[in-house]
Amino acid sequence: MSTQGEDRKRIVAGVDGSQLSLQALRKARHLAEALGRPLEVVTVGEHAISLTPPVATETWSPHTEAEEVLRDAVRDAFGDDVPPGLQRTALVGNPAKMLIEASRGAEMLVVGNRGRGGFAGLLLGSVSSTLASHASCPVLIIHRTESE
Q: Tell me, what's the pLDDT at 46?
A: 80
Amino acid letter at 119? F
* Per-residue pLDDT reduced to its tens digit, 75-114: 999 999 999 999 999 999 999 999 999 999 999 999 998 6
Phi, psi of 128 (to 5 degrees): -65, -35
87-92 β-sheet, strand order: 87-92, 39-45, 10-14, 106-112, 139-142
pTM, two decimals, is 0.82
Q: Using DSSP bridges, classify how beta strands 10-14 and 139-142 pair: parallel, antiparallel or unpaired.
A: unpaired
DSSP class per residue in the chain: -----GGGPEEEEE--SSHHHHHHHHHHHHHHHHHT--EEEEEEE-PPP-SS-----SS--HHHHHHHHHHHHHHHHHTT-PPTT-EEEEEES-HHHHHHHHTTTEEEEEEESS-SSS-TTSSS-HHHHHHHHH-SS-EEEE---TT-
Cα–Cα distance measured from residue 43 to residue 48, given in angstroms and rounded to the nearest whole number:
16
* Per-residue pLDDT reduced to its tens digit, 43-85: 998 866 555 555 555 667 888 999 999 999 999 999 999 999 9
